[in-house]
Amino acid sequence: MMEVTFYIVATIAVVATVMVVTRHNLIHALLYLVVSFLAIAVVFYLLGAPFMAALEVIIYAGAIVVLIIFVIMMLNLKEEAVEQERQWLGRGILYGPAILSLILLGELLYIIITAEPNNSSYQTVDAKAVGLSLYGPYVIGVELCGILLMSGIVGAYHLGRQKKKIVHRFLEAIEE
């Protein structure tokens, strides 16, 4: 039963991601991206990581996608954006990167499949073990994450600020 669920959810994740890659409309791509993240969250749950499944839904499907949607709303893209995306994403541009990436994927699959099989089953690693590990041997990583998030906030504020252009009025007259 678990196995069937896994394969169904994996198929949903791959199909939704293919739809993200091929969409022309940004909002449609983001909605498919939410479906993909939810499917991967179910995969996490099936693999015995329920806490990570919750984090995937909350942070990826919640916070990050909503952030991107807000930025798209701020940009106020018109109908022409979809047409332009269709023009940019022509048929011919797909083949080169797709073929090369497929060759790489084929090699990866060959390595994975020909490795010696093991029949070990998954075991659930609950949130308690994760927390003990996170604040035990990995506490320096948690502190580094804190520094990274703070620098991210400062950087986003600094970059996102609308700078008022200060031009002398004589220069303004020349530029016009």
Partner 1 sequence: MNKVPIEAGLILAGILFMLGLISVLIRRNIIFMLISVEIMLNAAGLAFIVAGARWAQADGQVMFIFILTMAAAEVSVGLALILQIYHQLKTLDSDAANEMNG
Residue whose entry in the numeric block shows the structure tokens 């995306």: 85
Q: Rounded CA gap, 144 and 131, in Å?
A: 16
Q: How many Cα neighbours within 13 Å face the side chain of 100?
A: 4
Interaction residues for partner 1, span 131-170 (CB under 8 A): 132-134, 138, 141, 145, 148-149, 151-153, 155-160, 162
How buried is 91 (Cβ within 10 angstroms: 0-12 exposed, 13-18 middle, 19+ buried)?
exposed
Per rule CB under 8 A, is residue 74 in the interface with partner 1? Answer: yes
Q: Considering the complex, what minimum distance in angstroms separates the CB of residue 166 from partner 1?
A: 14
Q: Which of 8, 73, 98, 167 binds partner 1 (CB under 8 A)?
A: 98
CB of 164 to partner 1, least distance (A): 12
Task: Give the x-and-dash track for 29-68 against partner 1 (CB under 8 A).
Answer: xx--x--xx--x--xx-xxxx-xx--xx--xx--xx--xx
Amino acid at 36: S
> From the CB of 170, what's the least distance to partner 1, in Å?
21
Q: Tell me which residues in 8-27 interact with partner 1 (CB under 8 A).
A: 10, 13-14, 17-18, 20-21, 26
CA 53 to chain centre: 15
Largest CA distance in the chain: 78
Q: Which helix (H) or strand (E) holds 139?
A: helix 139-160
Least distance between partner 1 and beta carbon 15 (Å): 10
> Closest distance between partner 1 and the C-beta of residue 134, in Å?
5
